[in-house]
């Protein structure tokens, strides 16, 4: 079974996923995984698609590009060989945590926080960020969903993130996912 990784980017409008999924189905493909989001008015999606052995990604790519031209979308199809990384082959035992970052918008904020996470072996599984700019802390919020190796010393990670927070004048809070969800449920 062939696999293809498809990316779709462009201005949001009704019918994008219907058009893309229809072309995939017409070429014998099956959507195995899909993640779609909106960034302001920009639509973005990643699709992992299984294709019949005899199918060629180039044909699917040409058909999707025709749809892309009509809807003013950028669509790319890449064959996916599923070569695992060293980290995927030997994943550490992890715990799920949620990081919230609140404070004035700063250039390099995502780079600073994600670099500290990488330094401590933490894998980011999802990031949601809203930056409205300005000094009102509540107008600028990032939420990182991360997997923290059990071997990571949490106090060392929290200390490193605290230093980043002091340097950038932001508040970084780290909670185990279960605690974060419990507090969120009580608050609602």
What tens digit of pLDDT does each residue of 97-122 get?
A: 999 999 888 788 899 999 999 999 99
Residues 98 and 172 grouped into a single domain: yes
Residues 70 and 28 grouped into a single domain: yes
Instruction: Report the distance separating Cα 101 and Cα 97, nearest Å.
Output: 13
pTM: 0.78
97: exposed, middle or buried (C-beta count within 10 Å: 0-12, 13-18, 19+)?
A: buried
Residues 179 and 130 grouped into a single domain: yes
Chain segment 138-166, per-residue pLDDT in tens = 778 899 999 999 999 999 999 999 999 99
Domain end call among 61, 80, 99: 80
Residues 161 and 112 grouped into a single domain: yes
Chain segment 9-66, per-residue pLDDT in tens = 999 999 999 999 999 999 999 999 999 999 889 999 999 999 988 877 889 999 999 9
Residues 139 and 176 grouped into a single domain: yes
For position 157, which CATH number holds? 3.30.70.260
Domain end call among 22, 47, 80: 80
Residues 112 and 50 grouped into a single domain: no
Q: Residue 158 sits in which domain range?
A: 87-185
Residues 96 and 173 grouped into a single domain: yes
Between the two ends of the chain, the Cα-to-Cα distance in Å is 46
Residue 184: how many CB atoms within 10 A of its CB? 11
| pLDDT value at residue 120 | 95
């Amino acid at each position: 079974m062939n696999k293809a990784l498809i990316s779709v980017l462009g201005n949001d409008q009704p019918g994008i996923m219907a058009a893309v999924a229809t072309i995939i189905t017409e070429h014998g493909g099956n959507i195995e995984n899909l993640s779609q989001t909106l960034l302001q008015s920009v639509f973005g999606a990643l699709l992992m698609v299984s294709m019949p052995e005899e199918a060629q990604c180039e044909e699917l790519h040409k058909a999707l590009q025709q749809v892309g031209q009509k809807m003013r979308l950028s669509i790319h199809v890449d064959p996916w060989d599923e070569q695992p990384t060293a980290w995927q082959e030997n994943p550490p035992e992890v715990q799920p945590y949620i990081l919230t970052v609140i404070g004035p918008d700063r250039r390099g904020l995502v780079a600073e926080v994600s670099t500290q996470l990488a330094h401590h072996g933490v894998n980011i599984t999802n990031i949601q960020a809203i930056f409205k700019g300005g000094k009102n802390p509540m107008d600028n919020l990032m939420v990182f969903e991360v997997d923290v190796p059990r071997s990571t010393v949490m106090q060392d990670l929290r200390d490193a993130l605290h230093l980043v927070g002091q340097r950038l004048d932001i508040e970084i809070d780290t909670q185990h996912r279960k605690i974060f969800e419990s507090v969120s449920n009580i608050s609602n």
